[in-house]
Amino acid sequence: MGWTDERVELLKKLWQDGLSASQIAKQLGGVTRNAVIGKVHRLGLSGRAAPSKPQRTTFKAPRPARPAQAAPAAPRRIAEPVAAQQAAPAPVRYVDETPGTATVLTLGAHMCKWPIGDPSLDSFTFCGRRSEETGPYCHEHAQVAYQPAQTKKKSSAAELARSLRRYI
């Protein structure tokens, strides 16, 4: 459909009333939103009586900060046997982090490659002690780096029922 004089006049009126290009295209029929935008641009219709969006942004109150991982409300539980509870995790092993003896330039194939310090500082070093045959770290650092696998507890009937309730 072409742009007749009466359609152009209707376009001008609707544009001045503050309708969007999509709304104008629907009312005119037979034209797309982009056709309306193009015609408005060619006609030089820049000013509007009422803008389609408010110019002033409305104030929104800031969201309250989320609580630091608050525990969710616990669902009702069936008492589990004492034997089914997990054993305490192994204590974290502390290794004295005195400055190492190796730098990037002096680090060899069989030296411990445990980083010590901040890599962006000049005092950054590596442990440098003799590493084990099985990995890149000395015995002490290997114990920190490689934690033993946790034994999986066997699922009891009560545990299975509790797991199924999550999905029902």
Residue type at 124 in one-letter notation: F
The range of the structural domain enclosing residue 39 comes to 5-43
Query: What distance, in Å, lies between the first and last C-alpha atoms of the chain?
Result: 57
The CB-based long-range contact list for 72-81 (8 Å cut-off, 24+ gap) reads 75/165, 77/162, 78/158, 78/161, 78/162, 80/156, 80/158, 80/159, 81/156, 81/158
Q: What is the rounded distance in angstroms from the CA atom of residue 108 to the CA atom of residue 122?
A: 19
Q: What is the pLDDT of residue 78?
A: 60
**What is the chain's mean pLDDT, rounded?**
77
- Model confidence band, residue 84 (pLDDT cutoffs 50, 70, 90): very low
The answer to whether position 102 is within a domain reads yes
- Residue 128 gets the label, from left (phi > 0), alpha (psi -120 to 50) or beta, of left
In a domain, 19, yes or no: yes
Structure tokens belonging to residue 133: 């045959």
What is the total count of domains within the chain?
Answer: 2
Q: Is 57 among the domain residues?
A: no
**pLDDT > 90 fraction of the chain, expressed in percent and rounded:** 12
The answer to whether residue 155 sits within a structural domain is no
Mean pLDDT of 114-141: 85
Task: pLDDT band for 163, please (50, 70, 90 cuts).
Answer: confident
pLDDT at 122 over 80: yes
Specify whether the CB–CB gap between 99 and 125 falls below 8 A.
Answer: yes
Given this model, what pLDDT does residue 51 score?
Answer: 54
17-26, 47-56, 63-72, 105-114: which has the minimum mean pLDDT? 47-56
142: which 2 tokens? 């290997």
Q: Which residue has the higher pLDDT, 154 or 87?
A: 154
Is residue 23 situated within a structural domain? Answer: yes
Q: pTM higher than 0.75 for the full model?
A: no
Region of poorest pLDDT, from 37-51, 55-69, 154-168: 55-69
* 53, part of any domain: no
Neighbour tally for 156: CB within 10 Å:
13
pLDDT over 70 at 68, yes or no: no
Residue 165 lies in a domain: no
